[in-house]
C-alpha cells in the first residue's frame, strides 16, 4: 500500500508537468487601477521556468478602446476585446474605476456567459462590484475593501458580505479586500492550482509571507507600534518565534511589563484577537508547514506534528485545523504535501 501511494503521488506530479496551461484573462478598462493590475501581471504574466510546472497563459482584454488611461499617467494598450473572456479558465477583475458606476451591460453579459461555461473568477478590492452588478454573487459570500463595505451591503442585499477579512472563496469565486490583500488571494489561488511548494517559491520571489489565511482581519483599530520602541510589539515578535510553547496571560503580561488587564486590552487593539486565539492561528500555521514538508506521514506523525505545533493532542490539532482551514490535517497533507 505504501508503494502504491508513492506511485500515485508521482503520477500526480507528472500530470502537473504535462497538463495544459490555465488560461488567465485580466480585464483592463479606462482609468485602470494600476497597482491592482500590476499585482495580476506579477503573478500570472512572468515566466517562471524555475518552478517546473506549465505556468499560466496570460492575456489582457479591454472593456474600452485603447490606449487606456491608468492611475499615475500610464497608458495601457490591450490587444483583445471582451470576446477573450470566453476562452478564459480564470477571469481576474483588478479593481474598478468607480463603485458608483455600474458595470456596462456588455460586460455583465460576457461575465454571465463565461460563468455558464464554467470559468473561475477573482476580483481585487472593488472589482467585486462588477460581479455583483452582473448578478453572479446573489446568495454567495463576498468581500471588498473596508471603505466600500457598507456600499456593497446596501446596494446588493442578496449577497452575504463578509466584513473585515482578507479574502473570501465561494465556489468558483475568489474576492479580496484591499489591494495588498489581492496578492494574498492570488497566492492562495496559485497554491490551489499548483500546491504549497510552488506557491511558497512565488511568495519568496515576491518577498511575501507564503500564506495568510483569508479569514484574517483587514485592519486593526490601532496600527502596531514600531518594534524598536514598544514592548508589546517586541513581545508579539518574540511570540512568533515561540508560538508552540505553553503561555499564560500573566506570564505574557509580565514579559510586556503590563498588568494582565492592560495587556489583554492592548493585545486585542494591536492584533484584533485575544492572545489565545492569536496563538491558535500561529500554531495552525506551524502545523501546515509541517504537513506541507511531506516528511511526516501516517497517523503516528500527526501526534508529532500536534506536539511540535503546540497543540499536544491530535484531536486538539484536528479541531482547530478544521475550524480555521476548513479541511482535516490529513486532507490538507494529501493536497499540499511536497513530493518527496
Q: In terms of C-beta density within 10 A (0-12 exposed, 13-18 middle, 19 or more buried), how is residue 194 classed?
A: buried
For position 58, what pLDDT does the model report?
Answer: 97
For 25-34, 44-53, 224-233, which range has the lowest pLDDT when averaged over its residues?
224-233
Of 297, 268, 270, 272, give the one whose Cα is nearest residue 216.
272
For position 6, what pLDDT does the model report?
Answer: 38
What is the band of 303 on the pLDDT scale with cuts at 50, 70, 90? Answer: very high
Phi-psi region of 43 (alpha: psi -120 to 50; beta: other; left: phi over 0): alpha
Residues above pLDDT 90, as percent of the chain: 59
Residue 165 and residue 218 in contact, taking contact as beta carbons nearer than 8 Å: yes
Residue 200 and residue 210 in contact, taking contact as beta carbons nearer than 8 Å: yes
Mean pLDDT of 50-66: 94
Mean pLDDT of 328-338: 79
Q: Which helix (H) or strand (E) holds 318?
A: helix 314-325
Mean pLDDT of the chain, nearest integer? 84
Mean pLDDT of 279-305: 80
Instruction: Give pLDDT tens digits for 217-250.
Output: 444 333 333 333 368 878 888 898 899 999 999 9
For position 230, what pLDDT does the model report?
Answer: 66
What is the band of 292 on the pLDDT scale with cuts at 50, 70, 90? Answer: confident
Residue 102 and residue 134 in contact, taking contact as beta carbons nearer than 8 Å: no
Question: Over 219-281, what HEC string results?
Answer: CCCCCCCCHHHCHHHHHHHHHHHCCCCCCCHHHHHHHCCCCHHHHHHHHHHHHCCCHHHHHHH
What is the band of 211 on the pLDDT scale with cuts at 50, 70, 90? Answer: low
Instruction: Give pLDDT tens digits for 141-195.
Output: 999 998 899 999 999 999 999 887 889 999 999 999 887 888 989 998 998 898 8
Cα 10 from Cα 29, distance rounded (Å)? 43
Q: Which helix (H) or strand (E) holds 28?
A: strand 23-28
Q: 141-142 and 160-161 as β-strands: parallel, antiparallel, unpaired?
A: parallel
Cα 321 from Cα 79, distance rounded (Å)? 45
Number of neighbouring beta carbons within 10 Å of residue 157: 10
CATH of domain 277-336: 1.10.10.60
Please give the grid coordinates belonging to residue 290: 509541517
Give the right CATH number for 227-272 from 1.10.10.60, 1.10.3720.10, 3.10.150.10, 3.30.590.10.
Answer: 1.10.10.60
Angle at 177 between CA 104 and CA 28, to 5 degrees: 35
Residue-wise DSSP of 148-178: GHHHHHHH-TTSEE--S-SEEEETTEEEESS
Number of neighbouring beta carbons within 10 Å of residue 35: 18
Please give the grid coordinates belonging to residue 193: 492550482
Q: Fold match between 227-272 and 277-336? A: yes
For position 33, what pLDDT does the model report?
Answer: 94
For position 13, what pLDDT does the model report?
Answer: 46
Instruction: Show Cβ contacts of residue 197 under 8 Å, excluding neighbours closer than 6 positions.
Output: 292, 338, 339
For position 299, what pLDDT does the model report?
Answer: 52
Question: 197 or 116: whose pLDDT is higher?
Answer: 116
Domain locations along the chain: 17-206, 227-272, 277-336
Of 336, 325, 254, give the one whose Cα is nearest residue 16.
336
Instruction: Give pLDDT tens digits for 266-289.
Output: 888 878 789 999 999 999 989 988
In this structure, whether the domain defined by 17-206 belongs to CATH 3.40.50.880 is answered with yes
Residues above pLDDT 70, as percent of the chain: 84
Q: 167-170 and 173-176 as β-strands: parallel, antiparallel, unpaired?
A: antiparallel
Amino acid at each position: 500500500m505504501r508503494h502504491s501511494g508513492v506511485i500515485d503521488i508521482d503520477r500526480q506530479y507528472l500530470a502537473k508537468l504535462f497538463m495544459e496551461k490555465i488560461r488567465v484573462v485580466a480585464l483592463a478598462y479606462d482609468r485602470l487601477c494600476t497597482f491592482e493590475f500590476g499585482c495580476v501581471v506579477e503573478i500570472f504574466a512572468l515566466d517562471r521556468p524555475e518552478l517546473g510546472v506549465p505556468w499560466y497563459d496570460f492575456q489582457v482584454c479591454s472593456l474600452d478602446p485603447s490606449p487606456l488611461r491608468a492611475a499615475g499617467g500610464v497608458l495601457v494598450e490591450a490587444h483583445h476585446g471582451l470576446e477573450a473572456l470566453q476562452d478564459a479558465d480564470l477571469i481576474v477583475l483588478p479593481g474598478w474605476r468607480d463603485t458608483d458606476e455600474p458595470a456596462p451591460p456588455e460586460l455583465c453579459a460576457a461575465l454571465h456567459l463565461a460563468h455558464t461555461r464554467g470559468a473561475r473568477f477573482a476580483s481585487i478590492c472593488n472589482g467585486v462590484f462588477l460581479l455583483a452588478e452582473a448578478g453572479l454573487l446573489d446568495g454567495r459570500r463576498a468581500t471588498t475593501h473596508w471603505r466600500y463595505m457598507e456600499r456593497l451591503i446596501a446596494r446588493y442585499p442578496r449577497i452575504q458580505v463578509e466584513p473585515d477579512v482578507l479574502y473570501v472563496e465561494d465556489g468558483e469565486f475568489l474576492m479580496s479586500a484591499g489591494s495588498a490583500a489581492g496578492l494574498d488571494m492570488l497566492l492562495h489561488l496559485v497554491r490551489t492550482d499548483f500546491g504549497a511548494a510552488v506557491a511558497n517559491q512565488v511568495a519568496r520571489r515576491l518577498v511575501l509571507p507564503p500564506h495568510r489565511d483569508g479569514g484574517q482581519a483587514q485592519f486593526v483599530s490601532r496600527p502596531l507600534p514600531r518594534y524598536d520602541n514598544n514592548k508589546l510589539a517586541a513581545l508579539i515578535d518574540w511570540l512568533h518565534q515561540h508560538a508552540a510553547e505553553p503561555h499564560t496571560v500573566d506570564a505574557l503580561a509580565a514579559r510586556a511589563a503590563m498588568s494582565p488587564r492592560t495587556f489583554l486590552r492592548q493585545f486585542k487593539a494591536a492584533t484584533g484577537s485575544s492572545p489565545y486565539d492569536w496563538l491558535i492561528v500561529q500554531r495552525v500555521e506551524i502545523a501546515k508547514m509541517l504537513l506541507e514538508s511531506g516528511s511526516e506521514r501516517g497517523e503516528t506523525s500527526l501526534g508529532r506534528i500536534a506536539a511540535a505545533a503546540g497543540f499536544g493532542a491530535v484531536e486538539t490539532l484536528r479541531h482547530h485545523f478544521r475550524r480555521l482551514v476548513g479541511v482535516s490535517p490529513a486532507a490538507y497533507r494529501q493536497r499540499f504535501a511536497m513530493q518527496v
